[in-house]
Amino acid sequence: MSLHVETRGSGPGLVLLHGWGLNSAIWSPLLPRLEQRFRVVLADLPGHGRSPAGAAAPTLAGWAGAVAAVAPPGSTWLGWSLGGQVAMTAALAGHEPRRLVLVATTPRFVTAPDWPCGVAAGVLRDFAAALGVDHAKTVRDFLSLQLRGDARAASLLRTLRELLANAPLPDPAALAAGLEILAATDLRDRLPALELPTLVVTGARDRLTPAAAGHRLAAALPAARRLEFADAAHAPFLTHPEEFLAGLEEFLDEPEAAA
């Protein structure tokens, strides 16, 4: 049993990883341009989209290993939110992505006394409790939370719902596992070991993974640069697609020695 994967275009490998409760359809607006230059691999995380929940152990390491099993060797891994944590974990496990692009990603999702740039643990507990009542509504509520702070939130929410409408609802057990991953993961002490070239993309209005988390993430990585969107929230690749693609292509076009 393996992940559901779609491959588009040809060229260097580019693996795209979505966030919690979503699926690979969120990347659709970027594909016409990306597939002209890259072999784009669209992977649905376990229990999301068309991937079976049993495609991997319900852990961050399990999910990272499942993606590595379908990723072309030497690919760039681009992960959004939880997908970014999957990408970092794969690199730390020795699966050897060529480069990382981490969008609205944090090494620690929940706040702590020494980590104010996150969400309160109670927010995730509330979502976990709501899953048992109505998991479809819980996903819809989480979509709204991700877009909070963006001036285009209402129109963007409609866009996201349209993009996701043709895929099955996520598996409730996979959703619960994803929330547990978000609540428990803390990669901060391991970041210095991530020596591969990395682009950290942040939105200054992001209230789910605050820009400060991205700043700290980039500062802790040995070979990272930042790209920030001043008026974006949690989904800059959807609200600022042209600028996002330009920054991505500039990063990927850098010679290895200069990256």
> Above 90 in pLDDT, residue 210?
yes
- Mean pLDDT of all residues in 217-221: 98
What is the mean pLDDT of the segment spanning 78-97?
Answer: 96
**pLDDT digit string (tens) for 16-28?**
999 998 999 999 9
Helix axis angle, 135-147 to 153-164, nearest 10°: 140
Number of alpha helices (DSSP H) and beta strands (DSSP E) in the chain = 10, 7
What are the catalytic residues? 81, 206, 234
Please tell me the pTM assigned to this model.
Answer: 0.94
Q: Which CATH number belongs to the domain containing residue 189 in this structure?
A: 3.40.50.1820
The rounded distance, in Å, linking the Cα atoms of 228 and 122 is 28
72 DSSP assignment: P
Q: 174 is in which domain, residue-wise?
A: 5-258
Burial class (CB in 10 A: 0-12, 13-18, 19+), 9: middle
pLDDT of amino acid 134? 80
β-bridge pairing 76-80 and 99-103: parallel
Residues 6+ apart with CB under 8 A from 172: 131, 132, 135
Query: 148-191 pLDDT, tens per residue?
Result: 777 777 777 788 788 777 888 899 999 999 999 999 999 999 99
Q: In what order do the strands lie in the sheet with 198-203?
A: 5-8, 39-43, 13-17, 76-80, 99-103, 198-203, 224-229
30 confidence band (pLDDT: 50, 70, 90): very high
Q: How many domains does the chain have?
A: 1
Percent helix, strand and coil across the chain, each to the nearest 5: 45, 15, 40
